[in-house]
Amino acid sequence: MSEPTVAQKSPFVLPMKPGAFYFCTCGKSKTQPFCDGAHKGSGFAPKKVDLAEAKTVAWCGCKHSKNGAFCDGSHGKLP
């Protein structure tokens, strides 16, 4: 598997309602930070995230977070 495409070098901070969401891991989705199927044939797959309550989420935009779908500041270490 190759490296993911960096969608942006900052998180996608969004107010979210409870529910299931599919986080884009390849970085090519046009509906960032969520999957639109652009990963097909790439070896990447979306990551399912279940939110139990409404809250503001900082979704990873660089696709290099060690915290799954959530921003951990890894974008600050990218070239």
Q: Which domain holds residue 51?
A: 12-73
pLDDT band at 49 (very low <50, low <70, confident <90, very high): very high
The arithmetic mean of pLDDT across residues 61-70, rounded, is 98
How confident is the model over 28-45, as pLDDT tens digits? 999 999 999 999 999 999
Query: What pLDDT does residue 4 have?
Result: 97
Is pLDDT of 1 > 80? no
Identify the bridge partners of residue 12 per DSSP, sorted by sequence position: 59
- Chain Cα centroid distance, residue 70: 7
Q: Which residues of 15-50 are buried (b: 16+ CB within 10 A; e: fewer)?
A: eeeeeebbbbbbbbbeebbbbeebbeeeebebeebe
Judge whether 79 lies within some domain.
no
Q: Would residue 18 count as lying in a domain?
A: yes
- Flag whether 57 is in a domain: yes
What is the predicted pLDDT for the residue at 52?
98
Could you give the number of structural domains in the chain?
Answer: 1
- How much is the pLDDT for 15? 98
Is there a domain that residue 7 lies in? no
